[in-house]
Structure 1
Amino acid sequence: MKNSKLLDKASRLDFSRLPGTAPASPDAATPAPPVFTPRPKTAPGALMAFANDTRSELLKENETLRERAQEAEVLRSRLDEALDDLQQWEGAKAARLIEASLVRPSRFANRHPGSFQDADYLKLRHEIQDAGGNVQPIKVRPVRGEEDSSPVRYEVVFGHRRLRACQELGLPVLAMIDNLDDQALFVEMERENRARKDLSAWEQGMMYRSALDSGLFPSNRKLAEAIGVDLSALGKALSLAALPEFIVAAFPSPLTLQFRWAKPLSDALAADAAGMRERVLDLQALPQKLSAREVFERLVDTAPVERRRQGVEPFHPPAARRAIHLGRREVGSIGVDAQGRIDLTLQPETLDPDSDALDALARLIAEFLATRAGGRGG
């Protein structure tokens, strides 16, 4: 009787709710047989099973952390590269295209008109035309206080020739825009032009004089310190800018004046201003154009004027040379220099210098002089 009761209780037990038992299939007519996970029979065994389960979880978590660390390292590397690229642009100003008609030259610029006509400018203009614009940007600053009717919105800091080329070609100009005061504008303009060797010695002198005359700097020394040039070099440039207009006009162009000529020209002018004017007049009377060096040498040479003043050597205004033609072919020329000497020049193939032709030519000249000179030579 006792055994039957135990069997009856055992038949009513639901083993599907026990841990480790497989759930019954919903489609099955009868519940699936229970699946048991072996359980440790001792406390140390249970402790080992718990340790194994914990170790598995730690290994999985460690693997996840390792993968995340690798991803973080890749992101850190990309961030470092981006920061390096950004560092290269630190302090850089963005450039953009603006209408060239909205930009005016700086009032401190002293570009001679010849700067926009020489071979270098024409080459620059051609390059800008081929490229469809200026590849190297100019720098401008916003203009304040302009009348509302004025189209001008910017003033050039540097890049006057690039601006002029774009204006002539009807192209927008690539420009960096920066807010600068007058002194900062002048310093940047001067340093950029000097680095590019764009300005001639005379133009630099005129620019320095403009800055001093406008009160931008209180002294030559302060100006030299601001732009980083030697004080003596600044003085030479200012000496060129201080030359009278009649001396500058004696040269083929002011752009041909050189720094080292400043002191000799200034000294010659200070020693004898009237004599310098006479020498300039002598140069203007010459029929041929002299180079800048030849002009300089004649201006600082006081001998011809001194000889004329002493009556040692008469002065004859030079005459234009006359060409000598044989048929339609020019075979030589004849002229008079500043000392009154008649200069006859014949092409080498015109006359054989080893023949008697020279004697015959000399006799012809003598006969001509006898009839024209009226006995002056006799």
Structure 2
Amino acid sequence: MSIKDRLAKKTGDLMVPAPSQEAGRGASPRTAPGQMLAFRSAMRESSDRVSQLEAQLKEYDGAVAIRALDPKSIHASKWANRQDFGDESFAELKSLIGEAGGNTQPIKVRPSSDGDGYEIVFGHRRHRACLELDLPVNAIVDGEITEQGQFVQMDQENRARKNLSPWEQGVWYKRALDDKLWPSQNAMAKACGLSQGNISSALLVAELPAEVVGAFPSPHDIQFQAARKLSVALKKTPDEIVQRAVELADDSSRTAPEVLTALLAAARPAAPARKEEEVGIERKGELLVIRLRASGVPQDRVEELRQLITGFLEDVQSTAD
């Protein structure tokens, strides 16, 4: 058996098919050794190409895919804490998104548990703006995030941007604890990267009676320090403060500090009326000052009183002598 036949038998279907003739390229090798060399060359080229592709792929390690989604396929999270879409800041955000033709900062969503579209992790305002502008919304889809993870990421996103008011924070944290998302304030604080004091302060605002909250021009005006003072006062005289809050709710002209002052004043018991003395006598150095209520001495008897005092002093003097 010739060398050509033996090589052909060993290489079998590894023989490189003859490429089509192209201008400037030589014909395919006709001998078995030539076929083998061509095969090895092709393998080296393929290996080099694979290395190039792997190098390019490494450039995308850690990159997050952003998808353009129909905003109608996305719904708000049950933990949504930004529901005010009528303020000036939202109008400005909507204008910027409209000018850019979409949200340049993507929102984050996760597939809905019922399989119907997506649920927002964070970015409710950006989603609402795209929805009203009828623009696709750029979003990161995270299919692995849990409900607790969703809450934590939403909290971090809000604190990194425009902070929620103390009242919004308190209501939000209270909902999570009421729904048993975490077993305790301490567990929630650790998950969210906050101190337990932060959680407690926010909850003081959320736990104020509705009448007290309603007395302020807006719930967003209630600050942490005000909530702490009111919480202490409510433990002493809750009925008086609530009653005063109901009265203040009808007066929209009061500012938040004025409302706070009025509510705290209601917690302080009124000082007992000082009983006026009929006769007051006080020694001041060489003098003995006598005070009488003017209403107790008619004007036409003042002279009589003077004579009585003069007579008393003359009697004292004679006794001393």
TM range (shorter): 0.5 to 0.7
Counterparts of residues 197-208 of structure 1 (less than 5 Å) = 197-208=162-173
Pair 1:170-2:141 in alignment: no
Among 132, 139, 154, the alignment partner of 2:118 is 154
Decide whether the 8 Å contact of 1:93 with 1:177 is kept in 2. Answer: no
Aligned-pair CA distance for 1:173? 1.3
Provide the rounded CA distance (Å) in 2 between the counterparts of 1:167 and 1:250: 35
SS in 1 for 2:140: strand
Please name the residue that 1:107 is paired with.
78
1:92 counterpart letter in structure 2: A
Report runs of 4+ in structure 1 exceeding 4 Å deviation.
78-83, 309-312
Provide the rounded CA distance (Å) in 2 between the counterparts of 1:267 and 1:261: 10
Cα distance change, pair 265–92 in 1 and its aligned pair in 2 (3 A): farther
Total equivalences in the alignment: 223
Provide the rounded CA distance (Å) in 1 between the counterparts of 2:61 and 2:231: 47
Aligned-pair CA distance for 1:156? 0.6
Provide the rounded CA distance (Å) in 1 between the counterparts of 2:154 and 2:63: 17
Pair 1:291-2:255 in alignment: yes
Q: Which runs of 5+ in 1 are unaligned?
A: 1-74, 147-151, 313-378
Provide the rounded CA distance (Å) in 2 between the counterparts of 1:131 and 1:311: 69
Decide whether the 8 Å contact of 2:107 with 2:140 is kept in 1. Answer: yes
Q: Which runs of 5+ in 2 are unaligned?
A: 1-48, 275-321
Aligned-pair CA distance for 1:199? 1.9
Aligned-pair CA distance for 1:297? 2.6
Decide whether the 8 Å contact of 1:137 with 1:174 is kept in 2. Answer: yes
Please name the residue that 1:263 is paired with.
228
Among 210, 214, 220, the alignment partner of 2:185 is 220
1:298 counterpart letter in structure 2: A
RMSD: 2.7
1:79-118: CA deviation from partner (whole Å, max 9, x where unpaired): 99958x82xx54332111111111111112233x4x3222
Aligned-pair CA distance for 1:184? 0.9
Provide the rounded CA distance (Å) in 1 between the counterparts of 2:74 and 2:177: 25
Q: Structure 1 vs Structure 2: percent identity of aligned residues?
A: 42
Decide whether the 8 Å contact of 2:211 with 2:246 is kept in 1. Answer: no
SS in 1 for 2:174: helix
2:224 counterpart letter in structure 1: F
Provide the rounded CA distance (Å) in 2 between the counterparts of 1:226 and 1:247: 31
SS in 1 for 2:96: helix
Provide the rounded CA distance (Å) in 1 between the counterparts of 2:162 and 2:208: 22
1:185 counterpart letter in structure 2: Q
Among 210, 223, 228, the alignment partner of 2:175 is 210
Among 126, 130, 147, the alignment partner of 2:95 is 126
SS in 2 for 1:290: coil
Cα distance change, pair 227–200 in 1 and its aligned pair in 2 (3 A): same
Cα distance change, pair 91–300 in 1 and its aligned pair in 2 (3 A): farther
SS in 2 for 1:117: coil
Aligned-pair CA distance for 1:218? 0.9
Please name the residue that 1:300 is paired with.
264
Among 56, 67, 70, the alignment partner of 1:96 is 67
Please name the residue that 1:242 is paired with.
207
